[in-house]
C-alpha cells in the first residue's frame, strides 16, 4: 500500500515543482516595472508660462498622455540663460523621468554665458519638437516695403534695427543680417517686444526682428508689415512673405527650434522610446494645426540629427557673438 502511494506523491511533487518554475519564469516576482510605469515624467521649460516653447510642450505633453497613458508634468524654470532649468535636470537621476526643453537660445547661451554645464556634453538629444522663423517687420506707412527697399535705404543713410535684449535670438539675427548685408545700421535693443513694436509704429526704428507668435495680433491687423522671413523656406502661416534668401541675401538663414533633451547617461532604450512617441504625436493633424496657429511647425528628428543641429548652431552663433563684440556674461 505504501509503495503504491509513494510514486503518486513523487509525481505530484514533480508536477508542482514544474508549475512553480513556469510561474517564476512567466512572472518574475521582483521584475522592475517598464518605463515609465506609474511615475510622472517632467518637462523642464527654461521660459515662463505662456511663451511659444511653453505652449508647444504643453500640447505635446497632453497628446503623449492621451495616446500613451503617461503622466507628464510641465515645469517652468525661467532665468539665468537657461541655467536654472538645466541644473534642475542635471540634479535629477538620468532615468528618463526629468527632461530638458532646449531651444536655439541654448546654442547661443554656450557662447554668451559662462555656463556651469556643457549643453552638448552633459545632455543627450531626443528629438526636435518645433521649428519657427523670425520676421523682418516695418511700418506699413513708411518707405520700406521689401528687403530691396531696405538695402537701398541703407545706402542713403544709417538705418536703425530694433530687437529685444542683447544676446537674444532676435538681437543676434539682426547682427547677422547687418553683417551679411554689409548694412549701414545700428541695432537698438529694447526691454520687451511691446517696446519694439511701439518704437516701430512711432517711426523710431526702421525695422524690427521678431516672431509671428509674438506679434500675431498687430501683424494680422496690419499695424506692422512683415517684409521677409528669416528661415530657409516660406512658412505656411505667412506664405505670401518671402524669405531673406529669396530677397537677395542667399547666405542668410535663421531658423528657431525647440527640442527635448535628457541628461547624459540616460538609457538609450528610454531615449528611443521617447523619440518614437514624439514622432508619432507630432504627426497628429490637430496638433500640427495648433502649432501652425502659433506660427511654428511641428517636426521631429532623430537624436543624431538633433545633436548635429545643436552643434551647428553653437558654432554659428559663437561667430556672430564674436563679430558683434559681445562679451560673455
| 133 pLDDT tier (thresholds 50, 70, 90) | very high
The SS3 assignment for 142 reads coil
Give the DSSP per-residue string, 232-275.
SS--SSSTTSPBTTTTT-TT---EEEEEEEEETT--HHHHHHHH
Average pLDDT of the residues of the chain: 90
| 33 pLDDT tier (thresholds 50, 70, 90) | low
pLDDT at site 51: 86
What domains does the chain contain, in order, with CATH numbers?
A: 41-131+255-324 (3.40.190.150), 133-229 (3.40.190.10)
- pTM (2 decimals)? 0.83
pLDDT at site 80: 73
pLDDT at site 278: 98
| 15 pLDDT tier (thresholds 50, 70, 90) | very low
Report pLDDT digits (tens) over 69-112.
Answer: 999 999 999 987 789 999 999 999 999 999 999 999 999 999 98
End-to-end Cα spacing for the chain:
94
Q: What is the mean pLDDT of residues 41-48?
A: 94
Distance between CA atoms of 224 and 135, rounded to whole angstroms? 11
Report pLDDT digits (tens) over 267-326.
Answer: 999 999 999 999 999 999 999 999 999 999 999 999 999 999 999 999 999 999 999 888
Amino acid at each position: 500500500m505504501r509503495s503504491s502511494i509513494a510514486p503518486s506523491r513523487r509525481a505530484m511533487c514533480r508536477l508542482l515543482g514544474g508549475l512553480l518554475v513556469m510561474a517564476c519564469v512567466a512572472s518574475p516576482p521582483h521584475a522592475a516595472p517598464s518605463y515609465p510605469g506609474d511615475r510622472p515624467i517632467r518637462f523642464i521649460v527654461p521660459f515662463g508660462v505662456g511663451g511659444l516653447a511653453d505652449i508647444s510642450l504643453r500640447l505635446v505633453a497632453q497628446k503623449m498622455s492621451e495616446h500613451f497613458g503617461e503622466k507628464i508634468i510641465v515645469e517652468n524654470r525661467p532665468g539665468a540663460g537657461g541655467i536654472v532649468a538645466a541644473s534642475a535636470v542635471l540634479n535629477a537621476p538620468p532615468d528618463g523621468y526629468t527632461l530638458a526643453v532646449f531651444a536655439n537660445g541654448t546654442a547661443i547661451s554656450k557662447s554668451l554665458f559662462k555656463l556651469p554645464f556643457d549643453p552638448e556634453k552633459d545632455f543627450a538629444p531626443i528629438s526636435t519638437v518645433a521649428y519657427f522663423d523670425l520676421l523682418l517687420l516695418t511700418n506699413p506707412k513708411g518707405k520700406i516695403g521689401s528687403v530691396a527697399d531696405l538695402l537701398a535705404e541703407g545706402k542713403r543713410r544709417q538705418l536703425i534695427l530694433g530687437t529685444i535684449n542683447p544676446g537674444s535670438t532676435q538681437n543676434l539675427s539682426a547682427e547677422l543680417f547687418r553683417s551679411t548685408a554689409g548694412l549701414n545700421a545700428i541695432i537698438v535693443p529694447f526691454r520687451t517686444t511691446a517696446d519694439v513694436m511701439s518704437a516701430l509704429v512711432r517711426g523710431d526704428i526702421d525695422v524690427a526682428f521678431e516672431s509671428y507668435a509674438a506679434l500675431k495680433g498687430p501683424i494680422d491687423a496690419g499695424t506692422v508689415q512683415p517684409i521677409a522671413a528669416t528661415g530657409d523656406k516660406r512658412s505656411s502661416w505667412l506664405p505670401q512673405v518671402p524669405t531673406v534668401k529669396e530677397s537677395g541675401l542667399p547666405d542668410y538663414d535663421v531658423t528657431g527650434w525647440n527640442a527635448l533633451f535628457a541628461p547624459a547617461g540616460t538609457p538609450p532604450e528610454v531615449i528611443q522610446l521617447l523619440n518614437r512617441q514624439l514622432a508619432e504625436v507630432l504627426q497628429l493633424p490637430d496638433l500640427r494645426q495648433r502649432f501652425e496657429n502659433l506660427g511654428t511647425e511641428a517636426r521631429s528628428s532623430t537624436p543624431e540629427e538633433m545633436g548635429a543641429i545643436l552643434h551647428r548652431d553653437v558654432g554659428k552663433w559663437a561667430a556672430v557673438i564674436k563679430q558683434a563684440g559681445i562679451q560673455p556674461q
